[in-house]
Chain A
């Protein structure tokens, strides 16, 4: 290679290398929020729903002139439901894209890996899916916020309602991993406090949905309520087998949560009469003005009603915006302080608030029951709303129990 060719190549190389920097400088007036979630993998539909909720919030905010005169931009990333990828993606969002805020995560273990990175980088993180540990020491950090419900709150709310309304003789069936075990422990404790009887509890290996040997045993014990923690594809397999054994007629079946994409997958023939808790269901649009606004915006953009997990993402993005507006500066520490100083908010379903000690969001939830096919109004009308459970700090572990003095 001669000298001239060398110079020409180097110059071109330098220009290419500098190009991203130029782009970045131009994008400098947007406020960037990083959003990791498992768009590939078995929970892709839930992750997509979350992203769509976040997008609705972003457009709503930008349509009103942005935040402090700057546009909000959300950068979505695939974390593959793997903690190592979630951590790597968070590093990329903070280092490369210069995101000041991170919102997202769909599984407890991935959330906590993301949380380790945001803690280290000093960035605000609002987690939008279930986890008990993330708002407890030692995982919690001063910039960690948790918008979603957690297993303790959900299972206490659902468990209390089941014991008071459907009966106090239970059987519990759960997948033998963190989420299943946590819910099982909380439900067992709730039942004891309610003076009920636990006829039996059966763990099964996650992802190995064979229940036919357990079901006759459960039928013979005649529980009033069968509570199950069977996530993902296991849930569909369980309900099919339970129905083929005629269990729906013999007892009430309940689970901590319904998810809209899951209801869509299984359909009303499986989910009719199955009880569960839910943080949001689009039918609340008839009762709550904020819900009406959110559902209308979501429908307009995505041509379908929002699911429950999209609502967490929608609310969390609005909280980032509210925090920045209050703090008047794009800075994680200032935004965190502003949110805790002004903890009450209401974006989609009524009043919510941040607890000062652990930055846990307290919010209403609902007990719902699967609808029969004949009663559905439209293809997404899967549940009847049975009762509201009002937001209460009593439902979660106390600050002291979580390791805060």
Chain B
């Protein structure tokens, strides 16, 4: 590491930001679904994987990355509707165990189905021609596609924030995650809210999948490890806190990325060390409210 320059450091920090963005997209979906429905969605990683595969399929079919980027997450979200309505909804009122076991089974089914349809060999997903190559950031060259990933995530997050903070539906969602009984008593149909939230959460996972595909490759097991990292992000940020998920996602992305540079051996474990330290100091994560989900 003798010739470590500021430029290398900056490049790696940017890489960390990109990884952080993918984690944020996954964590927000997990956090919304858990916060509102106390469903630990173990299939979230598989939905991320499915987003990438559907993206691949749609690019081949329509020849347009841009169309695929919009349609693939919508399809995953639609599947999310179906999962909530027909599989998860019958389980409300039962313990937290049942949805966990169900979504675990579901993720096995999804991974194997994808292998049956698209084969055992992974796929390569290329960024569109417009986003190929690298840009000069002044201090370093950085792949254009990665900057694009950061941009898309920021836009989606702002839209989500506006939706949750400024609209009536958003208000009900936030209220529902605090006190579902009271919201119900006020006469709101929580069933439709659940459906919507599950759809949004899964669509975000699908978006993360198609965005990550060109950087990390597309293969049936791509959701297995990242789901644990996403859970870590949710918990470090604090359950039910969107700001927490964003801050924690970026922080974890940076920690992984910079550790890879300085001490590659520790890259995998740093995620968990950070989580343990945060939780020992702050019982409910960085932005979580105490008492929620404990």
Contacts and interface: CB of A to CB of B under 8 A. Distances in A.
**Touch A–B, Cβ below 8 Å:** yes
Interface string B163-195: 000000000000000000000000000000000
Given A208-B268, A210-B19, A213-B15, A42 B219 contact: yes
Interface stretch (B87-95, B98-106, B139-147, B230-238): B139-147
Nearest to B134: A244
Interface stretch (A258-266, A277-285, A388-396): A258-266
A182 to B, nearest CB: 16
Nearest to A264: B121
B15 A203 contact: no
Nearest to B112: A40
A216 B7 contact: yes
B140 A265 contact: no
B115 A213 contact: no
A203 B216 CA distance: 18
Interface string B122-152: 1110000000111000001111001000000
A217 B132 contact: no
B265 A205 contact: yes
Nearest to A235: B217
A208 B142 contact: no
B222 interface: yes
A262 B124 CA distance: 11
A213 B10 CA distance: 9
A207 interface: yes
Contacts of B216: 209, 233, 237
A207 B121 CA distance: 16
Contacts of B265: 176, 203, 205
Nearest to B259: A205
Q: Max chain A CB contacts within 10 Å: which of B12, B115, B217, B256?
A: B217
A233 B121 CA distance: 10
A210 B132 contact: no
Given A42-B219, A233-B217, A265 B257 contact: no
Interface in B4-25: 7-9, 11-12, 14-15, 19
A45 B122 CA distance: 9
Contacts of B215: 237, 240
Contact of A205 (B124, B132, B221, B267): B267
Contacts of A404: none
Nearest to A44: B120
B122 A265 contact: yes
A270 interface: yes
B260 interface: yes
Nearest to B142: A212
Interface residues of B, number: 42
Interface SS of chain B: helix, strand, loop or mixed? helix
B204 to A, nearest CB: 22
A40 to B, nearest CB: 8
B264 A204 contact: yes
B113 to A, nearest CB: 13
Given A205-B268, A212-B142, A245-B134, A237 B217 contact: yes
A71 interface: no
A203 B222 contact: no
A220 interface: yes
Contacts of A41: 221
Contacts of B222: 233
Interface in A244-286: 244-245, 261, 264-267, 270
B257 A210 contact: yes
A41 B120 CA distance: 8
B115 A44 contact: yes
Contacts of A217: 3, 8
B160 interface: no
Nearest to B269: A205
Interface string A300-323: 000000000000000000000000
Given A44-B120, A216-B8, A209 B15 contact: no
B8 A213 contact: yes
A239 to B, nearest CB: 10
18 contacts: A39-B120, A42-B122, A48-B120, A203-B264, A204-B267, A205-B267, A210-B15, A210-B19, A212-B11, A212-B146, A216-B11, A220-B3, A237-B217, A240-B124, A241-B143, A244-B134, A244-B143, A261-B120
Interface of B: 3, 7-9, 11-12, 14-15, 19, 112, 115, 119-124, 132-134, 140-143, 146, 214-217, 219-222, 225, 256-257, 260-261, 264-265, 267-268
Given A204-B264, A204-B267, A236-B122, 19 more contacts: A41-B221, A42-B221, A45-B119, A45-B120, A45-B121, A202-B264, A204-B260, A208-B260, A209-B217, A213-B8, A213-B9, A213-B260, A233-B219, A236-B217, A237-B217, A241-B143, A245-B134, A265-B121, A265-B122
